Amino acid sequence: MKRALLWLPAVAFVGLIALLASGLFTPADRTVRSALIGQPLPQFALPPIVAGMPGLASSDFGKGEPRLINVFASWCAPCITEAPVLMQLKQAGVKIDGVAVRDTAPALERFLERNGNPFERIGSDVNSRLQFALGSSGVPESFVIDARGRIALQHVGDIKAEDVPAILAAIRDAR
């Protein structure tokens, strides 16, 4: 029995090393599990911010087709990186609406001229009320809204090219 106890520190050390190694080599699950998944969009009505484009309201959703809401801003560096990917999603047939957070019309118009405009509607969320109601704490952030107007997916951070298949699958599943 005493002899077996002599091996206990070595076994504990090997176990600790195995635990640390599995933590280092297993990718972290960075999926955000929003409490709003499956819930209807909050009621809102955002005024337009870009001349010639409509604003955005909760009544625009739940009309039988899924849509993507992108929470963004002209002052957001990752939003510039995300812009070509949003154009790619638009070309794939995804209907995209924008929520411009704490932005101004001139700055947003310059942003859209430089980076493209994938949006059908853009609402001005000057006080971040909708952003916070959606559970979003930063920009960019995107939400797939299903055909019934319910939140189907929350994507935190900029949508990268490698995220496009998952976004397209969520849009397909949200019909």
What single DSSP character describes residue 71?
E
Q: Is residue 46 part of a domain?
A: yes
pLDDT given for residue 6 in this prediction: 78
pLDDT of residue 173: 95
Q: What is the pLDDT of residue 20?
A: 78
Cβ partners under 8 Å of residue 72, min gap 6: 79, 82, 98, 99, 100, 101, 139, 140
Q: Is residue 56 part of a domain?
A: yes
pLDDT of residue 28: 64
**Tens-digit pLDDT profile for residues 140-164:** 999 999 999 999 999 999 999 999 9
Residue 107's CATH number: 3.40.30.10
Tell me if the bond preceding 140 is cis, omega within 30° of 0: yes
Stretches in the chain below the pLDDT threshold 70 = 1, 27-33
**How many H-runs (helices) and E-runs (strands) does the chain carry?**
6, 7
Q: Global pTM?
A: 0.82
Quote the pLDDT of residue 27: 62
Q: How far is the C-alpha of 163 from the C-alpha of 67, rounded, in Å?
A: 16
Cβ count within 10 A of residue 69 = 26
Q: What is residue 31's predicted lDDT score, i.e. its pLDDT? A: 56
Cα–Cα distance for residue pair 144/65, rounded to 1 Å: 11
Domain of 143? Answer: 30-174
Domains in the chain, number: 1
- Tell me the Ramachandran region of residue 102: left when phi exceeds 0, alpha when psi lies from -120 to 50, beta otherwise: left
Residue 25 belongs to a domain: no
Calpha distance 59→73 (Å, rounded): 23
17 within a domain of the structure (yes/no): no
